Amino acid sequence: MVDHNRAHILAITASQRLDSRGKPTVKVTVLTEAGTSSAIVPSGASVGNYEAHELRDGSATEYGGNSVHQAVTNVEKVIGPELIRQRFNVGDDLAKIDRFMIQLDGSKNKSRLGANAILGVSMACARAGAAVKGVPLYEFLREQAGITGPYLLPVPFFNVLNGGKHSGNTMAFQEFMIAPVGANSVTHAVQLGSEVYQALKSVIMGKHGASAVGVGDEGGFAPPISEPSDALDLLMAAVKKAGHEGKIKFAIDPASSEFYSEGKYDLGFKSQKQCQLAATDLSDLYRSLMNMYPIILLEDPFAEDDWAAWTAFKRDCPIELVGDDLLATNLERIETAKERDACNSLLLKINQIGTITESLEAAHRAFSYGWRVFVSHRSGETTDDFIADLSVALSTGHLKSGSPCRGERLVKYNRLMDIEDRLNVFGSPHEYAGTRMSRNEMK
């Protein structure tokens, strides 16, 4: 029950802070009589064309044009005063707050006020709503989404090998992930993932030397490899060395929009090697890898506007086919993908769309189609653990937040273990997703 006298916004402040790549981002703090609630906004490196607009100042004299002072000013001088004037109750009115900000911005992609400004306020207001109601954030978000029943705790997908725009090697594909579907809890899954990660470090050092274990943006190793099979062979060796064969499955995010041009996919885009493939040839490569390795998920295998390739591949794709740049957490893109039967899973990134309410709506729409929902971090992350609560709230069954390495990644996995402990203490019905990575597939 919300005490409406304590639920009104008294003040909203913002500041420029740094993300995990040392680039500026927006921090927002909301004050109610229940206290202060803060949020820090993430940022992507491989950004799709259909994402909400991240407002940056563009001044070459500060952070190479990446400062966010205008977004901060928009929070403090435009959004904050208007929200306070509306007398919204953060415990009940998150959807109204988000709708109001969307209307206040007035653009199609939040480019006037900035999606980074709007999202920071939306996240902080969600935290304030949870504080006013005296419940954990995941419980507040679950209520907002209208989800009931047992909690489904997500399988963590650890990005342990980096390529693409996330590393300096010549690998075209951006992410190779391990998923401990054979674990018996989130805590056990984190243990298995960490043990495979450490084994992988040892395998890479043995094969490529000590200089090859530098990490990419998301904590994954970036050894001097160029072929997808090289990466997957390393993962197979690491899983075996860690003693977890049969418990770990793999996932790949090629982020193929980054190497698509004029109808071809250039797997040599980071080197001098000529390796341009048609969509049909790239499809054959994916199928070959799926036949050889325990791959259960493929994300953005084709470019964001190569609809024909998506639809053709989906016809006989036996695994989870996730749209990231393809969908951009955007209802219009989700509708088009459904009409074209292009994928069967939504990658949910809150800063792609710019408010928590729209993120919940995107997940609801995906679930209504029988799709899965895969909650994701960004390469430019922060120490904010919001998305861990979001994945539990929505019972998405899987979350990716990088390697079991680097504080901005680990804070999400640590939060999942905290939530699991709390559910155990209170006897709340819950299960670890394992191979059932969707609330549509719960018992």
Q: CATH number, domain at 99? A: 3.30.390.10
User: Is residue 365 assigned to a domain?
Assistant: yes
pLDDT band at 94 (very low <50, low <70, confident <90, very high): very high
pLDDT on residue 3: 60
Share of the chain above pLDDT 90, in %: 90
Out of 134, 163, 196, a domain closes at 134
User: Is residue 316 assigned to a domain?
Assistant: yes
**Statement to judge: residues 176 and 312 lie in one domain:** yes
**Statement to judge: residues 157 and 41 lie in one domain:** no
**Statement to judge: residues 69 and 118 lie in one domain:** yes
User: Is residue 4 assigned to a domain?
Assistant: no
**Statement to judge: residues 38 and 64 lie in one domain:** yes
**Statement to judge: residues 105 and 211 lie in one domain:** no
| Mean pLDDT for the stretch of residues 137-149 | 97
* Structural domain boundaries enclosing 162: 151-432
Average pLDDT over the chain reads 95
Binding positions are: 166, 175, 253, 299, 324, 376-379, 400
Tens digits of residue pLDDT in 178-188: 999 999 999 99
Out of 84, 101, 134, a domain closes at 134
Out of 134, 166, 189, a domain closes at 134
**Statement to judge: residues 73 and 218 lie in one domain:** no
**Statement to judge: residues 263 and 380 lie in one domain:** yes
pLDDT on residue 20: 95
User: Is residue 1 assigned to a domain?
Assistant: no
pLDDT band at 443 (very low <50, low <70, confident <90, very high): very low
Does the annotation mark 218 as catalytic?
A: yes
Query: How, if at all, do strands 430-432 and 151-153 pair?
Result: parallel
- The total number of structural domains that make up the chain: 2
pLDDT on residue 46: 63
Does the annotation mark 304 as catalytic?
A: no
Which of 195-209, 216-230, 237-251 has the lowest average pLDDT? Answer: 216-230
Tens digits of residue pLDDT in 64-75: 999 999 999 999
**Statement to judge: residues 172 and 303 lie in one domain:** yes
User: Is residue 15 assigned to a domain?
Assistant: yes
User: Is residue 443 assigned to a domain?
Assistant: no
Catalytically annotated residue among 51, 54, 195, 218: 218
| Mean pLDDT for the stretch of residues 230-254 | 98
**Statement to judge: residues 279 and 157 lie in one domain:** yes
pLDDT on residue 440: 64
Binding positions for Mg(2+) are: 253, 299, 324
User: Is residue 441 assigned to a domain?
Assistant: no
**Statement to judge: residues 87 and 155 lie in one domain:** no
pLDDT on residue 379: 87
At residue 375, does pLDDT exceed 80?
Answer: yes
**Statement to judge: residues 230 and 340 lie in one domain:** yes
Tens digits of residue pLDDT in 244-295: 999 999 999 999 999 999 999 999 888 877 789 999 999 999 999 999 999 9
pLDDT on residue 274: 78
Catalytically annotated residue among 349, 358, 412, 420: 349
**Statement to judge: residues 116 and 255 lie in one domain:** no
User: Is residue 83 assigned to a domain?
Assistant: yes
